[in-house]
């Protein structure tokens, strides 16, 4: 039976949080979802979109949701209502609202906390801004954002738990305390963290609505025909390799994703681009660039860790291997983040410099192009 004809199959999970497989949260007790596609355990929030069946009788909103979403108690619904995260026909509603046929319900709920032993650790972190509500961090490559399988300490959350040890929200052993978004383990760059529940809620809603401003720089294989472009393609789990994401060009699976890019500098064999995210899907830039034939430089997961463009000269091969040694990770840096401050309403924008390893590779490409007299627009 299709989901459109069965009210018990109407909840559509929408994943809007970036994550990396190396940061998988240990799973909470098994949950059943009203969709054929089950979400990964490590999302920060569950997002549901439900259309009430035409034969549904009037019922309290909280009761209806608790009935139609497995492992969803009325208390969880009430918490979502209190946080302003339940909408019916695009309007926020109370738990007592009586649902009607064809009502469209959208809600966001935090995942149930998974209890693990979180150790505060005095790890140096680059804090570029902090006040009573938010802390903005320039994360180094190689640091996981939070504990997970294979990465039980040494994470950003371990460091923040130590730094904010007087903050009640960071005293509860929550491995996702303050997180409203994430970047991959081996991606460097800017992250914002909430320091209290109200700030987290406000920031999370901005990411949910895609109203934040995010700019990345990436070094990718190949040259581009155009100086600017847009990549559109549904992104979902690769059916043949669960460690990869995949673009479903026909939109049959996955979630809608849009990446805008602009060429910053051409090196003939590789190109430095700026990417602007319109959506925030898993590995979005990495998988979108692979999809259009421009994998990220040294991206092992998506095939960029070998020579894809260039000459057969041994000198060139040695040059690429040296670049890989200098930057043993994919060439992606989150260099700008903009959001509205949750208390003051001020629009805030933060930028970070290109990290040393990334800059060193760019400098080497500059020198290589000059010495080899390669075509360079």
pLDDT of the residue at 10: 29
Same domain, 265 and 367: yes
Q: Which of 192, 237, 165 is nearest to 21 (CA)?
A: 237
End-of-domain residue from the set 161, 191, 208: 208
Question: Which of 21-30, 60-69, 171-180, 183-192 ranks highest by mean pLDDT?
Answer: 183-192
How many CB atoms are located within 10 Å of the residue 186 CB? 22
Q: What is the largest CA-CA distance in the chain?
A: 75
Same domain, 224 and 367: yes
Tell me which of 77-81, 185-189, 289-293, 355-359 is least confident.
77-81
> Which whole number is the average pLDDT over 309-327?
94
Give CA–CA dist 203/108, Å, rounded.
Answer: 13
Same domain, 237 and 274: yes
H or E stretch at 157: helix 156-163
Q: With bands split at pLDDT 50, 70 and 90, how would you rate the model's confidence at 111?
A: low
Same domain, 196 and 296: no
Per-residue pLDDT for 40 more than 50?
A: no
- Structural domain of residue 356, as residue ranges? 213-372
- C-beta separation of 220 from 273 below 8 A: yes
Structural domain includes residue 115? no
pLDDT of the residue at 150: 59
> Which whole number is the average pLDDT over 236-246?
86
Give CA–CA dist 217/208, Å, rounded.
Answer: 23
pLDDT of the residue at 173: 82
Same domain, 198 and 311: no
Same domain, 177 and 303: no
Structural domain includes residue 2? no
> Which whole number is the average pLDDT over 331-345?
97
Same domain, 173 and 200: yes
Same domain, 225 and 203: no
Per-residue pLDDT for 30 more than 70?
A: no
Q: Which of 214, 221, 223 is nearest to 304 (CA)?
A: 221
Question: What residues form DSSP beta bridges with 139?
Answer: 189
Buried b (16+ CB within 10 A) or exposed e, 74-105: bebbeebbebebbebeeeebebebebeeebeb
End-of-domain residue from the set 45, 77, 110: 110
Q: What percent of the chain has pLDDT over 70?
A: 84
Q: What is the 3-state secondary structure (H, E, C) of 214-273?
A: EEEEEEEECCCCCCEEEEECEEEECCCCCCCEEEECCCCCCECCEEEEEEEEECCCEEEE
Residue owning tokens 């060193």 = 360
Structural domain includes residue 81? yes
- C-beta separation of 43 from 181 below 8 A: no
pLDDT of the residue at 237: 87
The more confidently predicted of residues 84 and 25 is: 84
Q: With bands split at pLDDT 50, 70 and 90, how would you rate the model's confidence at 27?
A: very low
Per-residue pLDDT for 117 more than 70?
A: no
Structural domain includes residue 167? yes
Structural domain includes residue 272? yes
> Which whole number is the average pLDDT over 91-109?
90
- C-beta separation of 332 from 296 below 8 A: yes
Give CA–CA dist 374/366, Å, rounded.
Answer: 10
pLDDT of the residue at 114: 47
Structural domain includes residue 121? no
- Of 174, 184, 299, 357, the catalytic one is 184
Structural domain includes residue 117? no
Same domain, 56 and 95: yes
pLDDT of the residue at 44: 58
247 burial level (CB within 10 Å; 0-12, 13-18, 19+): buried
Q: What is the mean pLDDT of the chain?
A: 83
Same domain, 254 and 310: yes
Same domain, 227 and 357: yes
- C-beta separation of 181 from 147 below 8 A: no
Tokens standing for residue 329: 């990770």
> Which whole number is the average pLDDT over 310-327?
94
Q: Which CATH number characterizes residue 50's domain?
A: 3.10.290.10
How confident is the model over 267-282, as pLDDT tens digits? 999 999 999 998 888 8
Structural domain includes residue 120? no
How confident is the model over 143-195, as pLDDT tens digits? 999 887 657 788 999 999 999 999 998 888 888 888 999 899 999 999 999 99
Same domain, 166 and 72: no
How many alpha carbons fall within 13 Å on the CB side of residue 39? 27
pLDDT of the residue at 149: 61
Active-site annotation holds for 20:
no
Q: Which CATH number characterizes residue 198's domain?
A: 3.30.2350.10
> Reduced to 3 states, what is the DSSP secondary structure of residue 191?
strand
End-of-domain residue from the set 163, 186, 208: 208
pLDDT of the residue at 76: 81
Per-residue pLDDT for 37 more than 60?
A: no
Looking at the 3D structure of the chain, how many domains does it have?
3
């Amino acid at each position: 039976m299709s989901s459109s004809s069965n009210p018990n199959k109407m909840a559509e999970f929408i994943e809007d949080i970036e994550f990396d497989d190396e940061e998988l949260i240990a799973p909470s007790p098994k949950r059943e979802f009203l969709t054929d596609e089950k979400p990964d355990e490590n999302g920060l929030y569950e997002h549901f979109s439900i259309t009430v069946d035409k034969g549904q009788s009037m019922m309290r909103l909280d009761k209806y949701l608790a009935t139609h979403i497995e492992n969803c108690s009325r208390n969880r619904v009430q918490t979502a209502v209190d946080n302003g995260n339940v909408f019916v026909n695009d309007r926020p509603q109370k738990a007592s609202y009586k649902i009607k046929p064809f009502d469209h319900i959208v809600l966001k709920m935090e995942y149930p906390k998974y209890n693990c032993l979180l150790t505060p650790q005095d790890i140096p972190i680059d804090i570029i801004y902090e006040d009573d509500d938010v802390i903005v961090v320039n994360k180094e490559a190689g640091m996981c954002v939070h504990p997970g399988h294979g990465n039980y300490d040494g994470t950003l959350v371990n460091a923040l738990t130590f730094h904010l040890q007087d903050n009640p929200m960071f005293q509860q052993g929550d491995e996702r305390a303050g997180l409203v978004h994430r970047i991959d383990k081996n991606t460097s760059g800017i992250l914002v963290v909430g320091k209290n529940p109200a700030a987290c809620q406000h920031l999370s809603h901005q990411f949910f609505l895609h109203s934040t401003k995010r700019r990345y720089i990436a070094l990718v294989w190949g040259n581009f025909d155009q100086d600017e472009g847009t990549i559109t393609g549904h992104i979902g789990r690769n059916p043949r390799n669960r460690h990869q994401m995949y673009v479903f060009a026909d939109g049959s699976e996955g979630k809608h994703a849009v990446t805008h890019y602009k060429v910053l500098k051409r090196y003939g064999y590789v190109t430095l681009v700026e990417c602007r995210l319109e959506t925030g899907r898993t590995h979005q830039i990495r998988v979108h660039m692979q999809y259009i034939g421009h994998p990220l430089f040294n991206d092992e997961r998506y095939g960029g860790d070998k020579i894809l463009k260039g000459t057969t000269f041994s000198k060139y091969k040695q040059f690429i291997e040296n670049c890989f040694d200098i930057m043993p990770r994919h060439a992606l840096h989150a260099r700008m983040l903009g959001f509205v401050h949750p208390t003051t309403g001020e629009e805030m924008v933060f930028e970070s410099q290109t990290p040393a390893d990334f800059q060193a590779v760019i400098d080497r490409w500059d020198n290589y192009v000059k010495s080899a007299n390669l075509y360079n627009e």
